[in-house]
Structure 1
Amino acid sequence: MTDNVSLISGVALRYASALLDLAEEQGKTAEVEKGLDQFEALINESADLGRLIKSPVYSADAQTKALDIILEKAGISGLTANFVKLVAQNRRLFAVPGMIAAFRSLLAAKRGEATAEVTSVAELSAEHTAALQEALNASTGKNVKIAVKVDPSILGGLIVKLGSKMIDTSLRTKLNSLKFAMKEVG
Structure 2
Amino acid sequence: MLASRLAARSARVAAPRMSIAATRGYAEPAKASANTKPPVAVFGLDGTYANALYTAAAKQGALDNVSKALDNMANTFKRDTRLQSILSAPTLSAADKKSIIGELQKSTNVQDKTQTLQHFLETLAENNRLGLLDGVCEKFGTLMSASRGEVEMTITSAAPLDQRVVKQLETAVSKSQYVGSGKKLRVVPKVNPDIRGGLVVEIGDRTIDLSVSAKMARMNKLLSDTL
TM-score w.r.t. the length of structure 1 is: 0.68
Alpha-carbon distance, 1:116 to partner: 1.6
Secondary structure in 2 aligned to 1:137? coil
Q: Structure 1 pair 45/25, CA: closer, same or farther in 2 (3 Å)? A: same
Correspondences of 1:125-136 after superposition (within 5 Å) = 129-135=170-176, 136=178
Query: 1:52 is matched with which residue: 82, 86, 90?
Result: 86
Structure 1 range deviating more: 53-62 or 114-123: 114-123
User: Contact 1:117/1:149 (CA < 8 Å) preserved in 2?
Assistant: yes
Query: Which structure dedicates a bigger proportion of its chain to helix?
Result: 1
1:108 to 145, 162, 178: 145
In structure 1, what is the equivalent of residue 101 of structure 2? 67
Residue 73 of structure 2 corresponds to residue 39 of structure 1: yes
Query: What is the rounded CA distance, in whole Å, between the counterparts of 1:87 and 1:145 in structure 2?
Result: 28
Match of 2:175, as an amino acid?
E
Cα distance 1:62–1:126, how it changes in 2: closer, same or farther (>3 A)? closer
Cα displacement (A) at 1:43? 3.1
Q: Which runs of 5+ in 1 are unaligned?
A: none
Aligned-residue RMSD, C-alpha: 4.0
In the TM superposition, what is the alpha-carbon distance from 1:93 to its structure 2 partner?
0.9
Alpha-carbon separation, structure 1, partners of 2:167 and 2:103: 41
2:56 maps to: 22
2:127 is the alignment partner of 1:93: no
Distance change >3 Å, CA 165–CA 2, structure 1 → 2? farther
Residues 2 and 163 in structure 1, CA contact (< 8 A), matched pair in contact too: no
Shift in Å, 1:62: 1.8
Provide the C-alpha distance between the structure 1 equivalents of 2:121 and 2:50, rounded to a whole number of angstroms. Answer: 11
Larger deviation: 55-64 or 104-113?
104-113
Structure 1 residues 21, 74: CA separation in 2 closer, same or farther (over 3 Å shift)? closer
Deviation at 1:159, TM superposition (A): 5.0
The count of corresponding residues between Structure 1 and Structure 2 is: 177
Q: 1:75/1:134 Cα in 2 relative to 1: closer, same or farther (>3 Å)?
A: same
Cα deviation 1:147-181 (Å, max 9, x = unaligned): 46799944xxx7532244223468995xx67x949
Instruction: Compute the displacement of 1:20 (Å).
Output: 0.9
How far apart are residue 88 of structure 1 and its match?
A: 1.1
Q: Distance in 1 between matches of 2:187 and 2:129?
A: 31
Provide the residue aligned with 2:121 in structure 1: 84
1:18–1:168 Cα change, 3 Å = closer
1:128, 1:102 → 2: CA distance? 22
Q: 1:166 to 1:94 in 2, by over 3 A?
A: same
